[in-house]
Structure 1
Amino acid sequence: MATDYDAPRKTEEDQSEESIEELKARRHDKNSGKVDEDETEAAESFELPGADLSHEELAVEVMPRQDDEFTCMSCFLVHHRSQLADEKALICRDCA
């Protein structure tokens, strides 16, 4: 693309005036009055294949706590003893 380097350059004031004029012109644009639709309402109308899991059952086997594990009293996650930061308060290193 050819550039004419001899053409007069626009100052910042000219550019700001142009942008204000563009904004005024866009204000009266037909599309500016439209309101964007709510994303959650749009997402509720979509039906994904395999999304109905009402007939499925969740089978989880709960393991008893091991001797080398503890439950953090801050985040309530089960950690290995090597992650223990405070033995009295039973706080993991991530929460300490």
Structure 2
Amino acid sequence: MATDYDEVRPDVAESRNASLEALKSANSPDARSVVLELDEADTVDGVELPGADLSGEELIIQVIPQAADEFTCYSCFLVRHRSQLARQKNGHAYCIECEG
């Protein structure tokens, strides 16, 4: 007699059906109510830290221009040294990490 080894065993099929029925009968909240609860919590708490009024602060950053021996990778947009240049195609340079 031939045995079909790909067929699901009867004990496994029964446990799948039983667990599906248990999930259906469980009193779990639906996705919409959970999202509403999360949205309400965001508006009540807010995202601002107490005493963190930074409206009067000014951010000062020194921008250093790209050096002659550097390039900007067209894939990751990071400025790299020329020693990390993997290839150039259609005027765009790619670094070793992106080509790896």
Q: Taking structure 1 as the reference length, what is the TM-score of the superposition?
A: 0.53
Deviation of residue 87 (structure 1)? Answer: 4.0
Deviation of residue 62 (structure 1)? Answer: 0.4
Residue identity (%): 45
Residues 15-34 of structure 1 deviation map (CA, whole Å, 9 limit, x = unaligned): x49x957964x55xxx868x
Counterparts of residues 5-84 of structure 1 (less than 5 Å): 16=18, 20=21, 24=25, 27=27, 35-36=33-34, 37-46=36-45, 47-84=48-85
Give the Cα–Cα distance (whole angstroms) in 2 for the partners of residues 32 and 86 of structure 1.
Answer: 53
Q: Which 5+ residue runs of structure 2 have no aligned equivalent?
A: 1-10
Q: Give the number of the structure whose residues are more often helix, by fraction.
A: 2
Give the Cα–Cα distance (whole angstroms) in 1 for the partners of residues 95 and 52 of structure 2.
Answer: 37
**Paired residue total:** 81
Give the Cα–Cα distance (whole angstroms) in 1 for the partners of residues 93 and 78 of structure 2.
Answer: 11
What is the DSSP-based 3-state SS (H/G/I as helix, E as strand, rest coil) of the residue aligned with 1:79?
strand
Residues 14-53 of structure 1 deviation map (CA, whole Å, 9 limit, x = unaligned): xx49x957964x55xxx868x3334244123224224432
Cα gap change, 1:32 to 1:56, in 2 (>3 Å):
same
Cα gap change, 1:81 to 1:44, in 2 (>3 Å):
farther
* Max Rg structure: 1
Instruction: Give the letter for the 1:42 counterpart.
Output: A
Cα gap change, 1:81 to 1:21, in 2 (>3 Å):
closer
Aligned to 2:7: none
Q: Taking structure 2 as the reference length, what is the TM-score of the superposition?
A: 0.52
What is the DSSP-based 3-state SS (H/G/I as helix, E as strand, rest coil) of the residue aligned with 1:70?
strand
**RMSD across aligned C-alpha pairs, in angstroms?**
3.8
Q: Which 5+ residue runs of structure 1 have no aligned equivalent?
A: 1-10
Aligned to 1:91: 94
